[in-house]
Structure 1
Amino acid sequence: MSDDWKKDRFGAIERNENPMILTRMKSGYAVIGDTQFLPGYCVLLAYPKVASLEDLSLEAKTDFLRDMSLLGEAVQFVCNPRRMNYSIYGNSDDFLHAHVFPRYDWEPEERKPYPVWQYPREMWVLPAVQYCEEKHLSLRQQIATKLTSLIAKCNSN
């Protein structure tokens, strides 16, 4: 599969060509991360596309933050990390998105107390840790299944 869709992730969503989508949520799309050196790394993409959290109404902000927490809960359930980390920056990509990172006991001790962004650049680009269907499809499906059930439970309350 070509990676051309990465040049326009939102256009790829609209054309149903983004292969990383877990599910549509109230505030946007949950996607599995391009890199999986921390298995279960996911991102919530606000949709429609906005620049920042401050661009949303109070209700839309609440929806986005609730969806982010549901995505984290799904990753927690499937991957059983020691904790979940959440981050919203917008410094590199100028659209609202939230990173959902599982953190594991097996991570190097010198990395545990710091944000994942302090991992060496190589960890983000190594071919061995890039998402691929052969290695990560089952993980993606498990997270999507759990997330779908959490959304349904949330909607029924």
Structure 2
Amino acid sequence: MDSWKNDRIGSAERGENPTVMVKMKSGFAVIGDNQFLPGYCVLLGYPMASSLNELTMAERTQYLTDMTLIGDAIIKTCNPLRINYSILMNLDHYLHAHIEARYDWEPDENKLRPSYFYPKEQRYSKQYEYSEEKYGELKESITKNLLELMKNAGYDMTDD
């Protein structure tokens, strides 16, 4: 059923990954598998690389620009307190950036710490699992804002 998760980038390329919002120059912008912190997105690097350091300077610049455009779209959609960006690659050994909204409604003890300090059972609770029914409108809104921001930034929408 969720076999696309075994090859997130390949399934995005084939149009089989339901979390894809838009193809950007440096990869695929996707909504996160869980929405514990609403608006959580990931930028899957494409073509696949094992790290940011493998990219040329121009490719790195594009990747980081695309990552922040996703952050801007989340800000416009969700009105968070701030955006956290992380490129860890400890579990999945391909370039991908986590783009997380952080909110003033979070408990004080968690506001100053990375989101992974929340208990796993809380972060990955079934109630936050992405589904089109629960989070389709959020995905659509972030996508709409991202496309608008890309256009306003002079992003060439015909050359990806």
Q: TM-score when scaled to structure 2? A: 0.94
The amino acid across from 2:39 in the alignment is: G
2:77 counterpart residue number: 78
Residues of 2 paired with 1:98 and 1:27: CA distance? 11
Aligned length: 156
List aligned pairs for 1:31-50, cutoff 5 A. 31-50=30-49
Contact persistence 1:123–1:129 (CA under 8 A): no
Partner of 2:130, secondary structure, is: coil
- RMSD, aligned CA: 1.2
Please tell me whether residue 151 in structure 1 is matched to residue 150 in structure 2.
yes
Partner of 1:36, secondary structure, is: coil
Residues of 1 paired with 2:57 and 2:103: CA distance? 33
> 1:125 Cα deviation (Å)?
2.2
Residues of 2 paired with 1:60 and 1:4: CA distance? 29
Structure 2: any 5+ residue segments left out of the alignment? none
Note closer, same or farther for the CA distance 1:145–1:117 as it changes in structure 2 (3 Å cut): same
List aligned pairs for 1:12-27, cutoff 5 A. 12-27=11-26
Residues of 2 paired with 1:23 and 1:57: CA distance? 23
1:4 counterpart residue number: 3
Q: CA offsets, 1:115-153, max 9 Å, x none? A: 011111112321101111111000000000000011111
Structure 1: any 5+ residue segments left out of the alignment? none
Residues of 1 paired with 2:146 and 2:108: CA distance? 30
The runs of 4+ residues in structure 1 deviating greater than 3 Å are none
1:59 counterpart residue number: 58
Note closer, same or farther for the CA distance 1:43–1:156 as it changes in structure 2 (3 Å cut): closer
